[in-house]
Chain A
Amino acid sequence: MTNDELTQHLAGLPVSLLHRLAKNRVHRHFRMGKTRLIQSLLALSPGQRAEIETTLTSFLQEPPRSSKPDRPAKPNPQPDAPPRPAPPSRHHHVPTEPAIGTKALLEGLGVPPPRPFKPDDWQRDAIDRLTTTDVILSVPTGSGKTYVAIEAMRRAIEAERTVIYTSPLKALSNTKLTEFSQLFGADQVGILTGDRRDNPQAPILIMTTEILRNLLYDAASGEIDMRLDTLGLIILDESQFLADAERGVVWEETIIFAPAQSRLLLLSASIGNPDEIAAWINSIRSTSCHLIHHRNRSVPLRAAYLDPSGKLAPFFRARDIAHGKGFVLHPETKRLFANYEDRTLGPRYRR
């Protein structure tokens, strides 16, 4: 077969068959689109190419209905059985609305006029709950977890209780130190690191979670130089670190040994099972644990695709990113990306 013939034959095949041909012959074939697959199949060594041609002829001789030749033929459905509903396809359901244009995508950009800050309902709810229960906040990044933390701190200080705020990274501790010092005054905020203690008598103490864990161990063995009995609130920022392979155990230890009288406030990015974590904390602590979990961003997010040529297109068919409902890529984005893949298959980039 000449190159052209082979290309023509291959182009006539469904992509799934092409993937079957490329299996074990082309590296990372599953990442390729159709064009790219064909290109890489053409570039194979003569021996492999002969194999492909034989397989290809066998495909071509097969009746066209067996588009899935590796699956056994299904038994005929019972004549009286109701027709099975088509399985919901995630990527290819028929879009009902027309795809939006780039102009519509970029509509409404700009800076909103300054208006007085008004906390959301869930933020108020979280702060109120913290007087009686532990609270887990699992909300999208940037939707105002810190506001809850600050208000909770303010209330704790008013009640003459101390607050410990932990973050996973020292860099974040430093940022928070600056931020809280501006809000509460430098004398109200202290920081503890492995080798240094700045203002350790302050009502708000910032530290990494490891330091707090060590404090709790010291308290358990009775040699405590910190006043944990007045500790009213422990805030664990970025608590999705619970799943960190190396350090996750520290968050567990901290939550297990947290003093019973102090409330826990866990701030976490969106995770899949916040309810499970809430159930866990509920089961091991004397106070109950309230979960606040939502996925609404305070600033809506849209997605765009930027081609290397500088052309901007909407990423999805719909303007706003919908969660958990599947997605349909914008046709223009699909076209541009397919072009990009084709281009990157030029002789220059092929190996």
Chain B
Amino acid sequence: MSYLLTGHRSVIPTQLLHESKSPSIGGLLCAPDKFLLHFPPFMPPAIHPVDLLHVLRHQRLTPAIVFLTSRRACDEAIACFEHRQNPIPPTRSAAITDVLDKMTAEYPSIANHPLIPTVQHYGVAAHHAGHLPSWKIAVEELMRQGCLDAVFATTTLAAGVDFPARTVVITQSSVRKDRDITELTVNEIQQLAGRGGRRGKDYVGFVVVTPSPYIDLGPIANGLTNHPEPIDSQFVVSYPMVLNLLKAHSIDHIQPILEKSFAQFQLNQRADAYETKLDDVETQLETYGQRECADWIAQWQSFSLAKKRRSHHRRKTQHDPPEISAQLAFLTPGRAVELSKDHAIVLRQYRSRGQGAPMLTVMRNGGRIIEYPASAVTAVIDEVIDVTESHRFPWCTPQSLNHAIETLEQFPARLRRLPIRVNQDGADNPVLTETLKDEFPCPTCPSRPACQKDHPQALKLRQEEHRLTKTIHAMRTELWHRFQQHVEVLQKFGYLTPACQLTSEGDWARLIRINHSLLITELIRMGAFEGITASLLAGVLASIAHDDDRPASFPGRHPALTSTLGQVRKVAHSLSAYEEPPLLRWDVAAIADRWIAEPALPWNELIRPTTMAEGDVYRLLARTLEYLSQVHGLKATHPGLAGVARDAMDLMRRDVLQELP
């Protein structure tokens, strides 16, 4: 259906262009190979590679670099060209053959590359990390000679594509990075687009955008026209860095060295911005002028805190309205009071259990004993009768109750009310303030009103000041702290003395300057590599070096390798607090192991049983070589192990791995 819609003449489904990475289909992410054979029916169409090249040729936009989403997409795009009708003219084919022959003389591994017929007949090639470096060099050379019309490459390798073309074709605005789909940054899009237009060979270069499931025009247009993003330092402190710095410098000189880093430079710039803010805050604080005490904000703060704490202690009295608390002193047992309608005699004053509100138990006419909140009292009468209190209901002795009932009945209608002075300016409890006088100068201080007024704002500023100071300090010393953390770990493991000098162990350990250095040096120290064979050593180092979790398989498992890797995994796990453990995949270990264990094994035989791309296997072995050479660097202290590493390197460097330095 998609072909009908798009008016395609092609028979091959257009979806071939794209390896499906639709996040909605979980299975595709795990095992793309299995699912891709069924063309997912929900993929939108994209232009067919053959049609694309046709248009580009027709508009004289070749040679072109076509950036696709995945290696598979590149390979499939090339596969589309096989058995097509119109090959390139024979003279051009001959030119390609010439160049390829020349390259083959230098790099024999190109000779039988399966893509050669397509390249010769149609003038197109694929160029991605799954290929051997020699093939990539050949494609680049062909491109430089102007023999090719199009190269299909992956976006991820944009930095490694070092050849220009007239046209760059962009088919996507997002890429998959670490199992996540992210949009291309401005830097990345300009890196892609930058390959368009060859100096001296073109008047103009072109960027051709063609839609695919992974495209949105906005980010691309933005990337083509906008300013690139600024870059930030990615400085990390590593164990080899610490050891090497401490070898050459004493610990006292380290801090100035760290301060020379771009990381610190950028941190300083940010810190400077904060400093300006801090200055601003400090000027604002200065506007409050001099007060009686040196640090009035802190003084007032502790004073008001103390007030609060004390008042908390006496919460019950504090929360009463002033007129009630003024009354309370008079509402003692035996006091006559006026309620809304008539008079009553107070028998008891207490606090309610829940809210702590002041409550009264009163006796009203006819001896009714009723409980009221203190606020029910409308007036206090200047009359107290003798009441003997008791602890239980009715809160006084029966005799005095009788006496009270009698007195109440004899009360005239009007009685003299007691005038009660209410302390209106009672924001501060005068009693409380009085008690704090000994501890704080504030209650009697002349600048007290000013302090009280300014304090909330000033306190905010002071807190901001503290926060900024702290942040600035953290920025200035962050790297140094990270360095010290690493120093502590190295001291714990005995690579450094307490005085931060290298121990004899540290002296050789600093030569291992690769990822997972702590794991490797610990393995060497605990003798895990004693009596190891060259192939096994290469296998272990390969599994430490390989950090790609692209699925692969290799039928080469044998017990020695499995048990050694098991040990390494245990050690790596025990070190996981100090160093991120490597993946330690046994399949990649088995590949390196087999390549060395069978010195007569040809490259093709090594590649055949694995699902890994040969470019990946090449990179794996090249990285293993690097790790081996680091181990070989320990020849002064570990001659035996270094010798094994040397053997492994010699055995490894053959066939394809011999071709390039």
Contact = CB atoms under 8 A, between A and B. Distances in A.
**A associates with B:** yes
Interface of A: 27, 31, 106, 108-112, 114, 117, 140-144, 168-175, 177-178, 191, 193-196, 198, 210, 213-214, 217, 220-222, 238, 240, 242-246, 248-249, 252-253, 255-256, 269-273, 276-277, 279-280, 283-284, 297-310, 312, 315-316, 321-327, 329, 333, 337, 340, 343-344, 346, 348-351
B333 interface: no
A141 B168 CA distance: 13
B660 interface: yes
Contacts of A315: 207, 209, 221, 224
B204 A302 contact: yes
B196 interface: yes
A280 B265 contact: yes
Contacts of A245: 234
Nearest to B140: A175
Given A297-B197, A340-B211, A324 B45 contact: no
Nearest to B630: A194
Contacts of B5: 343, 346
A327 B222 CA distance: 7
Contacts of B355: none
Interface string B11-43: 000100000000010000000000000000111
Contacts, number: 276
Nearest to A28: B23
Contacts of B198: 142, 299
A241 to B, nearest CB: 8
Given A256-B257, A324-B225, A349 B44 contact: yes
Contact of B204 (A220, A271, A299): A299
Interface stretch (B235-243, B360-368, B383-391, B423-431): B235-243
22 contacts: A112-B200, A141-B194, A142-B199, A175-B137, A195-B632, A198-B661, A221-B510, A249-B235, A249-B236, A249-B238, A252-B262, A270-B228, A283-B265, A297-B194, A298-B197, A303-B206, A309-B7, A310-B47, A340-B44, A343-B6, A346-B1, A348-B42
A170 B51 CA distance: 35
A171 B195 contact: no
A303 B207 contact: yes
A163 B190 CA distance: 30
Contacts of A240: 187, 231
Given A196-B661, A269-B191, A256 B261 contact: yes
Contacts of A210: 513
B392 interface: no
B225 A323 contact: yes
Contacts of B352: none
A210 B514 CA distance: 9
B217 A276 contact: no
B56 to A, nearest CB: 8
B201 A111 contact: yes
A270 B226 CA distance: 11
B49 to A, nearest CB: 12
Contacts of A326: 225
B52 interface: yes
A351 B42 contact: yes
A301 B207 contact: yes
Most-contacted residue by chain A among B199, B203, B234, B513 (CB, 10 A): B234
A238 to B, nearest CB: 6
Most-contacted residue by chain B among A112, A195, A238, A270 (CB, 10 A): A195
Contacts of B61: 109
A141 B228 CA distance: 13
Interface string B176-216: 00000000000100110111111111111111111101001
A305 B7 CA distance: 17
Contacts of A271: 187, 228-231
A329 B217 contact: yes
B231 A301 contact: no
Given A240-B187, A306-B55, A306-B209, A112 B222 contact: no
Given A217-B513, A220-B249, 9 more contacts: A27-B24, A142-B195, A143-B199, A193-B661, A222-B248, A277-B231, A324-B227, A340-B44, A348-B42
Given A112-B202, A117-B200, A248-B235, A306 B208 contact: yes
Which 10 A-B residue pairings sit nearest by Cβ, starting from the closest? A141-B194, A299-B197, A344-B44, A248-B234, A272-B230, A243-B231, A273-B230, A195-B629, A194-B626, A220-B248
B410 to A, nearest CB: 69
